[in-house]
Amino acid sequence: MRHEQVCVGTGLDSLRKTLSRFRCPDSGTFHCSSTGLVFVVTKEAELQYRIVQWDEALLESSGRTPAGPLYDIECPEQAVCELHLPHCEPEHAKLSQSQLKVVHFSGSDTEFIQPLQISKSHVVIKVSKLSQYGLTNPFRKKKHISGQVLLFRTPKENWKDIKLNMFLLPRNIPVDTVSCRQTCTKHYINAPAACELVTDQFYRALCSKTQRIQPERALFDMDYEPNYHPSFELRLPLDSDLVSISVREEGTRKKTKHTEVWSHELDLTDPLCEIPMTYHGELVLEKLELVRPKFVQNVTGPILDQLLDKLLEEKYLNYEEMETIKVKPRADKARDVVDSVIKKGSRAAEYLMKEYCKKDPKSELCKELQEFMKSNSQVTSVAAGE
């Protein structure tokens, strides 16, 4: 199984697009860690897909609105029989009462497809031919959704201060797609992102050391363009180290209290805050593969269980994957953790490295990983400045 993602376009081109290529070596079920899409295929196949612009006028007559990105999918082998689209229904939602439907655009034809199943993370449909597919919901002004807070920063050498761009987005927008639309000077900060948001609700960003936050408040909506713009810009002093950042739901006349929906303690001295993902992603995956034997030999059972819980919490593993791994003997469990994380991509691999170092900071493997992250930061920072 091989996944490749490339950015088509350059610089500040607002029409820049992200193209994904995904190879399925045989029949079976395959998960794209970048987009969250799952394909069930009947034979070996290569898929190509990208996020395209919704034409919401086509949905208005049906009283529906986008509930996820619109994917344009191609498969010359016509091998896909089932498609799983990631949704952003909140964890407490009664999925049996969900009104999610998949819309299928093919030429001038529009078809609404009733799901076969709605799991905690995906909407499942049968497919016979591929073109454009996307999730829809009945139009409602206020809706609770599972969201994410994404942070990008400029490198220190480019500014008199530090600039953080904060995005409030639905959970089912791929991080790589948002990252690809940033200029090469924007560095993605790999921080816990999960939160619950409400559409048509105002939010405020807060920071313990900020010089300025623009705007003062922002209205959240289900933005599935595919050109994503930051909700907030935060300016911090250049010598900032540990800062507290949070997002709060603005109170109303009936509810005067501002409710905190997301918070994070951000260490701006962490080497990984300086690494553009596009430079170091492959190195991270290669490093995790190299240290796999040491990890299998040295990681303890209790630490493995803690790592599994963290990977589940950050949605790098789903419940089925975690339960399958957890019942195995320690060494097999360790192998499966590494192999599963590598399949999920560089961010998952990077997260596993950092969490392992937190759980076993005195181990030789931790020291090796920390040295790798430090040296990798130096190399990629030089490459970014060239």
Same domain, 257 and 281: no
Q: Is the pLDDT of residue 68 over 60?
A: yes
Query: Rounded to the nearest 5°, which phi and psi values hold at 291?
Result: -90, 5
Q: What is the pLDDT of residue 2?
A: 43
d(CA 108, CA 145): 31
Same domain, 333 and 306: yes
- Cβ 27 vs Cβ 96: under 8 Å: no
Torsion of CA 21, 24, 28, 33, to 10 degrees: -40
* pLDDT tens digit sequence for 351-380: 999 999 999 999 999 999 988 877 665 333
Same domain, 263 and 281: no
Range of the domain at 172: 144-269
- Cβ 237 vs Cβ 161: under 8 Å: yes
Same domain, 110 and 166: no
DSSP 60-109: HTTTEEE-SPEEEEE-TT--EEEEEEE----TTS-GGG---EEEEEETTE
DSSP symbol at 184? T
Location of structure tokens 């078809």: 111
Cα–Cα–Cα angle for 152, 157, 162, nearest 5°? 45
- Strand, coil or helix: 95: helix
- Cβ 105 vs Cβ 58: under 8 Å: yes
Q: Is the pLDDT of residue 262 over 50?
A: yes
Q: What sign results for the dihedral spanned by CA atoms 300, 301, 306, 312? A: positive
pLDDT band at 300 (very low <50, low <70, confident <90, very high): very high
Query: Rounded to the nearest 5°, which phi and psi values hold at 366?
Result: -60, -45
Q: Is the pLDDT of residue 278 over 80?
A: no
Same domain, 124 and 72: yes
pTM for the predicted model, two decimal places: 0.69
d(CA 65, CA 312): 30
CATH code, domain with 286: 1.10.533.10
* pLDDT tens digit sequence for 330-357: 999 999 999 888 877 777 888 999 999 9
Query: Nearest Cα to 320, choosing from 28, 31, 78?
Result: 31
Domain boundary among 214, 245, 269: 269
**Which residues fall within 8 angstroms of residue 88, CB to CB, at 6 or more apart?**
67, 68, 145, 146, 147, 170, 171, 172
Query: Nearest Cα to 349, choosing from 358, 340, 341?
Result: 341
CATH code, domain with 262: 2.60.40.2660
* pLDDT tens digit sequence for 8-51: 433 333 334 567 777 788 888 888 877 889 999 999 888 889 89
Q: Report which residue type is found at 255.
A: K
pLDDT band at 188 (very low <50, low <70, confident <90, very high): confident
199: alpha, beta or left, given left = phi > 0 and alpha = psi -120 to 50? beta
Same domain, 132 and 149: no
Lowest mean pLDDT of 202-206, 299-303, 325-329, name the range. Answer: 325-329
Domain boundary among 251, 269, 287: 269
Same domain, 126 and 13: yes
Count of Cβ atoms closer than 10 Å to residue 2 Cβ: 9
Same domain, 14 and 107: yes
CATH code, domain with 69: 2.60.220
Query: Nearest Cα to 225, choosing from 75, 32, 40, 51?
Result: 51
Same domain, 260 and 172: yes
Domain boundary among 219, 246, 269: 269
Same domain, 93 and 172: no
Query: Nearest Cα to 137, choosing from 186, 65, 70?
Result: 65
Provide the domain count of the chain. Answer: 3
Same domain, 15 and 42: yes
Same domain, 224 and 112: no
Burial bucket for residue 4 (CB in 10 Å: 0-12, 13-18, 19+): exposed
d(CA 279, CA 178): 16
Q: What sign results for the dihedral spanned by CA atoms 377, 190, 282, 353? A: positive
